[in-house]
């Protein structure tokens, strides 16, 4: 096994142990199986006082073998309506973008991924993103337009996603 994989596995195991001891409210996350620390299932609770409130949204975190040098990918399964979530469920936020300069010069390097980030910070950032979409840098243009131009319809659709997330 390459040394990087061992480093990544040790780091992921340590993060998982920390999360099981002291997990932030509204988040549950861990490896899908003990045999593969590079794929995690997550449950993210919709933040209070948002249209996502009371929802419980499943997501999958997939880590690269050079983690923590490169960021993982987070995908909601199923996708939910949000300006910063692609139609396939993939989350688009700065903390999950590769380290370094942004080729589009939209994000500062310190906003992007760095090895000091961790699973807990990622999931807390996603909860924050649910509360405060960034429509200036949208992944889902239709959701951005709906959020900006017809907030009532946007919230109605999100509440439908919430009901779906609860099996209602």
Residue 17 lies in a domain: yes
Please check the confidence at residue 150 and state whether its pLDDT lies above 90.
yes
Question: For residue 32, what are the domain limits?
Answer: 7-165
CA 26-116-74 angle, 5° bins: 45
85-104 pLDDT, tens digit each: 999 999 999 889 877 666 55
Residue 71 lies in a domain: yes
Given the residues 23, 42, 92, 144, select the one marked as catalytic: 92
Residue 2 lies in a domain: no
Q: How confident is the model at residue 49 (pLDDT cuts 50, 70, 90)?
A: very high
* 17 CB neighbour count, 10 Å cutoff: 10
Q: How far apart are CA 76 and CA 91, in angstroms?
A: 7
How many domains are there within the chain? 1
The number of residues in the chain equals 168
Closest by CA to 37, choosing from 70, 59, 14, is: 14
Quote the pTM value. 0.88
Burial class for 54, CB neighbours closer than 10 Å (0-12, 13-18, 19+):
middle
Is 42 assigned a catalytic role? no
Residue 1 lies in a domain: no
Task: Give the domain CATH number at 114.
Answer: 3.10.110.10
In this structure, what are the phi and psi dihedrals at residue 66, rounded to the nearest 5 degrees? -100, 20
CA 82-86-87 angle, 5° bins: 90
Residue 39 lies in a domain: yes
- Enumerate the β-bridge partners of residue 76: 59
Token pair belonging to 104: 């589009």
Residue 66 lies in a domain: yes
Residue 19 lies in a domain: yes
Residue 160 lies in a domain: yes
């Amino acid at each position: 096994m390459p040394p990087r994989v061992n480093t990544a596995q040790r780091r992921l195991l340590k993060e998982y142990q920390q999360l099981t001891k002291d997990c932030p409210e509204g988040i549950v996350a861990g490896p899908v199986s003990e045999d593969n620390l590079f794929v995690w299932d997550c449950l993210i609770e919709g933040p209070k006082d948002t249209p996502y409130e009371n929802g419980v949204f499943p997501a999958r975190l997939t880590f690269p073998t050079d983690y923590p040098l490169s960021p993982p990918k987070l995908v909601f399964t199923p996708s939910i309506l949000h300006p910063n979530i692609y139609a396939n469920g993939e989350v688009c936020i700065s903390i999950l973008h590769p380290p370094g300069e942004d080729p589009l010069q939209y994000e500062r390097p310190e906003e992007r991924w760095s090895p000091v980030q961790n699973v807990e910070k990622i999931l807390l950032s996603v909860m924050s993103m649910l509360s405060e979409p960034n429509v200036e840098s949208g992944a889902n243009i239709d959701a951005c337009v709906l959020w900006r131009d017809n907030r009532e319809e946007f919230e109605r659709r999100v509440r439908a996603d919430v009901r779906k997330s609860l099996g209602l």
